[in-house]
Amino acid sequence: MASKHLEDGDFSLARGLSDSIVREVRKERDAMGDVQRALRQKKKIKQRWKGHDDASLWDDYYNPGTETPGVAEVNIVKNRSGQTGKVDLFFSKEFTQFSNYAKQDQQ
């Protein structure tokens, strides 16, 4: 269509049409670049976390034979702005997260 306007001597219309086509091609190219970056990032994240299982990994460290099953003792040896010492944390196997043991103790 731009070539028809160019042949007819309507240069401004031909230029406008060609500019709009160039803008569309650039948008598509930028979108493809975004997708490629996202795929590379996903691949890196998968490689980084490959072999990490959530709950099944914690089964190796969980000792049900203790007096307080599901409780982890964390030794804080270096803390720039606070106390150091041992802290008991409750491990929730269903959600693979640690929480304050004192809150669990009150329930």
Beta partners for 85? 76
> Is residue 16 scored above 50 in pLDDT?
yes
Q: Which long-range contacts (CB under 8 A, 24 or more apart) does 18-26 make?
A: none
Per-domain residue ranges of the chain? 2-49, 55-106
- Mean of per-residue pLDDT scores for the chain: 77
The reported pLDDT for the residue numbered 26 is 92
Secondary-structure percent of the chain, ordered helix, strand, coil, rounded to 5:
50, 15, 30
Least Cα distance to 88 among 106, 107, 101 occurs for 101
pTM of the predicted model as reported, rounded to 2 decimal places:
0.37
Count CB-CB contacts under 10 A for residue 91: 19
